């Protein structure tokens, strides 16, 4: 494969797309698939064939279009008419209307803020390219960044571009990606590895899954560039076994890229070689922690170990290892294509670029969104998300999953960036954003997350193994209306202890949901303790003789 051949593929692909007057894009990512989009696609294909329109209209499976709540989604290109809640029975009407007025009853208003307010970098190809066709990705400037990196830049210059972009790790902690790359690049070793963390374990988060299902080549390209920058020839993607479609699309993508010589030995005739293999997770949240993830790739139980040494110095099988999250790698191709300075112009001073969020819970427009850093929570929830349905009142928004916190209404105008969210007692996290209304009890929510951390604790260190259990017991007691004021104090002490003495991030951040709800919703805790009442009516508190403990 040469850069010229890449151009030829693009030209050919564009030519073949142009032959069709209409291209019907059907979302075949997991969200819409669960609502039956495979049947819709088959019905549309049949309808097109029955009407003899095969040469004018192409039915194409694409990735996530974002508005998962209203799936299955179908879009007509180039007219950009979008249909929602489509069923098999609608296929005839859609195909019939192609050259006339759109089918009004199915139309999805693409003018609404949900679509208009987003800025797409990571998701630029989602809903546009067919994830199972490498030519489609190439036609969308795919692998251009890899050509540029390999033929125009030295490895050091690639690291320099990433540094300039100001990109920070999208897995949650927000460590500057360029610095991490620089550290691994400078380490001298016979062998180095690049690992993509696709063990998206936060409940309520599906950003990485959507990227892997909708645009797998972008992640492969980002990893291959990273391999060149840090001088690694082998990459691993550690992906959740619970994501069968992402695994299938990744496998296809790797095979196609190898066939075209975009992965493998001597890419584009250079001396750079890079191979990627998949490793399946097996349902352990702690494996999102980098040292636990490494242990799991090595075929062991996923327990973390103390750092330092950091994986950048001693990682997989003892060799220097670069570990980044899916979304981080997905940002790399556009950064290389457009330059680090371009990326640094988007977002805030310390948080550059965009962030993908999985917006869910008590919000009208649930789905996948990408917004510039610095946007306010209010804009996300009320403009893009369309607010809280059923005339209910907004109570809190939870970010960062079990490691994050609940943010109340008074801080809705805070900008979304790493530092602001941390100041509020939450974290950016990987991108789960769950909206809660007045039907949710905040003590119950804290208990829910603590139950999660308790059962996901790997058991290696005592503070996490025993502390999360005890905190959960106390929260059980509070929600059952059997706790005293002293129990709340003990709970706070335990939070402090577990936070400061646990071995890894899972334990250290497990008190966050409790601390943030105690901070903003203390009155709810007090209602359970003093009045033996759950203000939201969620907790089953039995009055009478039981309330004596």
Partner 1 sequence: MGTSFRKPVAPSADKRWKIVEASMRRLGNQSHALIEALHTVQEAFGFLDADSLRFVATSLRVPLSQAFGVATFYHYFTMKPPGRHTCVVCTGTACYIKGAGKLLTDMEKQYGIKPGETTADGNVSLLTARCLGACGLAPAVVFDGQVAGKVNSADMLAKAGRWGQ
Q: Which two tokens stand for residue 165?
A: 């972009």
Tokens for 396, please give them.
Answer: 């809190």
Q: Does 255 interact with partner 1 (rule: CB under 8 A)?
A: no
Q: Which position among 43, 123, 436, 461 is part of the footprint of partner 1 (CB under 8 A)?
A: 436
Interior angle at CA 241, CA 232 and CA 455, nearest 5: 105
Give 104's DSSP letter: G
| 448 binds partner 1, rule: CB under 8 A | yes
Q: How many helices (H) and strands (E) does the chain have?
A: 23, 13
Nearer to partner 1, 177 or 510 (CB): 510
Considering beta carbons, is residue 165 or 468 the nearer one to partner 1? 468
Position among 95, 360, 527, 539 found at the interface with partner 1 (CB under 8 A): 360
| CA neighbor of 455 nearest in space, from 434, 471, 443 | 471
Helix 216-230 × helix 144-152 angle, to 10°: 10
- HEC states along 362-411? CCCCCEEEEEECCCEHHHHHHHHCCCCCCCCCEEEEEECHHHCEEEEHHH
Interface with partner 1 (CB under 8 A), residue from 12, 99, 266, 282 = 282
- Are 464 and 457 in contact, with CB atoms under 8 Å apart? yes
**Per rule CB under 8 A, is residue 434 in the interface with partner 1?**
yes
Which of 10, 13, 28, 35 contacts partner 1 by CB under 8 A? 35
- Distance set, CA 439 to CA 41, 361, 392, 397 (Å): 38, 11, 8, 13
Q: Which of 243, 274, 411, 418 binds partner 1 (CB under 8 A)?
A: 243
Which residue number, 109 or 283, has a Cβ lying nearer to partner 1? 283
Taking the complex as a whole, the smallest distance from the CB of residue 119 to partner 1 amounts, in Å, to 20
Pair of tokens at residue 230: 């840090």
Cα–Cα nearest to 184, from 220, 222, 155, 161: 155
Site for partner 1 contains 398 (CB under 8 A): yes
Using CB under 8 A as the binding rule, whether residue 71 contacts partner 1 is answered as: yes
Alpha-carbon separation of residue 533 from 513, 519, 527 (angstroms): 21, 19, 6
Residue 401 lies near partner 1 (rule: CB under 8 A): yes
Q: Edge-to-edge strands of the sheet including 74-77?
A: 57-62, 22-27, 74-77, 81-83
Smallest distance from the beta carbon of 233 to partner 1, in angstroms?
A: 17
**Residue 406 in contact with partner 1, rule: CB under 8 A:** no
Of 209, 218, 472, 477, the one binding partner 1 by CB under 8 A: 209
Told to check if 300 binds partner 1 by CB under 8 A, we report yes
Q: Is 301 in the site for partner 1 (CB under 8 A)?
A: yes
Asked if 400 contacts 429 with a C-beta cutoff of 8 angstroms, the reply is yes
Q: Which of 33, 121, 184, 534 binds partner 1 (CB under 8 A)?
A: 33
Is 537 among the residues that bind partner 1 (CB under 8 A)?
no
Binding mask 163-202 for partner 1 (x = CB under 8 A): -------------------------------------xxx
Judged by CB under 8 A, which of 235, 281, 372, 385 binds partner 1? 281
- Please identify which residue in the block is written with the tokens 């003899």: 52
For residue 397, the minimal CB distance to partner 1 (Å) is 11
Helix (H) or strand (E) holding 321, with range, is: strand 321-325
Give residues in contact with partner 1 (CB under 8 A). 30-31, 33-35, 67-69, 71, 200-206, 209, 241-243, 279-285, 296-302, 358, 360-362, 366-368, 398, 401, 432, 434, 436, 440, 445, 448-449, 452, 458
């Amino acid at each position: 494969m040469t850069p010229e051949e890449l151009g030829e593929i693009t030209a050919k692909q564009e030519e073949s797309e142009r032959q069709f007057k209409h291209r019907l894009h059907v979302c075949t990512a997991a969200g819409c698939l669960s609502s039956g989009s495979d049947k819709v696609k088959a019905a549309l294909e049949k309808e097109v064939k029955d009407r003899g329109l095969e040469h004018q209209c192409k039915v194409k499976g694409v990735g996530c279009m974002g508005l998962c709540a209203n799936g299955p989604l179908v879009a007509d290109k180039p007219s950009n008419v979008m249909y929602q809640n489509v069923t098999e029975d609608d296929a005839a009407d859609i195909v019939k209307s192609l050259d006339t007025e759109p089918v009004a009853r199915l139309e999805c208003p693409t003018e609404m803020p949900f679509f208009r307010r987003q800025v797409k970098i990571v998701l630029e190809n989602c809903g546009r390219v067919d994830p199972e066709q490498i030519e489609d990705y190439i036609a969308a400037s795919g692998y251009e960044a890899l050509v540029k990196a390999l033929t125009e830049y030295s490895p050091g210059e690639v690291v320099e571009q990433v540094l300039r972009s100001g990109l920070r790790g999208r897995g949650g902690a927000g460590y500057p990606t360029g610095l991490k790359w620089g550290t691994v690049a400078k380490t001298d070793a016979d062998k180095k590895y690049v690992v993509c963390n696709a063990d998206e374990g936060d409940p309520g988060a599906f950003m990485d899954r959507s990227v892997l299902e909708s645009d797998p080549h972008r992640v492969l390209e980002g990893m291959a560039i990273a391999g060149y920058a840090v001088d690694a020839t082998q990459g691993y993607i550690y992906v959740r076994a619970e994501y069968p479609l992402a695994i299938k699309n990744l496998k296809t993508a790797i095979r196609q890229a190898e066939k075209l010589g975009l992965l493998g030995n001597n890419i584009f005739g250079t001396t750079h070689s890079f191979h990627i293999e998949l490793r399946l997770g097996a349902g352990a949240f702690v494996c999102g922690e980098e040292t636990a993830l490494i242990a799991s790739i090595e075929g062991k139980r996923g327990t973390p170990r103390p750092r330092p040494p950091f994986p950048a110095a001693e990682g997989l099988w003892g060799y220097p290892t670069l570990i980044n999250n899916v979304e981080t790698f997905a940002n790399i191709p556009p950064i290389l294509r457009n330059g680090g300075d371009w990326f640094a112009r988007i977002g805030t001073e310390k948080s550059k670029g965009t962030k993908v969020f999985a917006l869910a819970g008590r919000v009208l427009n649930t789905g996948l969104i990408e917004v510039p850093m610095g946007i306010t929570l209010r804009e996300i929830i009320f403009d893009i998300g369309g607010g809280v349905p059923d005339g209910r009142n907004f109570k809190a928004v939870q970010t960062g999953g079990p490691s994050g916190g609940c943010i109340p209404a008074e801080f809705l105008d805070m900008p979304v960036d790493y530092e602001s969210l941390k100041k509020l007692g939450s974290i950016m996290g990987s991108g789960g954003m769950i909206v809660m209304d007045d039907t949710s009890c905040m003590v119950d929510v804290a208990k829910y997350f603590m139950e999660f951390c308790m059962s996901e604790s790997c058991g290696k260190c005592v503070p996490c193994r025993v502390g999360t259990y005890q905190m959960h017991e106390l929260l059980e007691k509070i929600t059952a209306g059997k706790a005293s004021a002293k129990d709340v104090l003990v709970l706070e002490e335990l939070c402090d202890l577990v936070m400061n003495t646990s071995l890894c991030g899972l334990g250290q951040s497990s008190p966050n949901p409790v601390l943030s709800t105690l901070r903003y919703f203390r009155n709810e805790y007090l209602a359970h303790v003093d009045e033996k009442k759950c203000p939201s009516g969620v907790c089953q508190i039995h009055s009478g003789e039981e309330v004596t403990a």
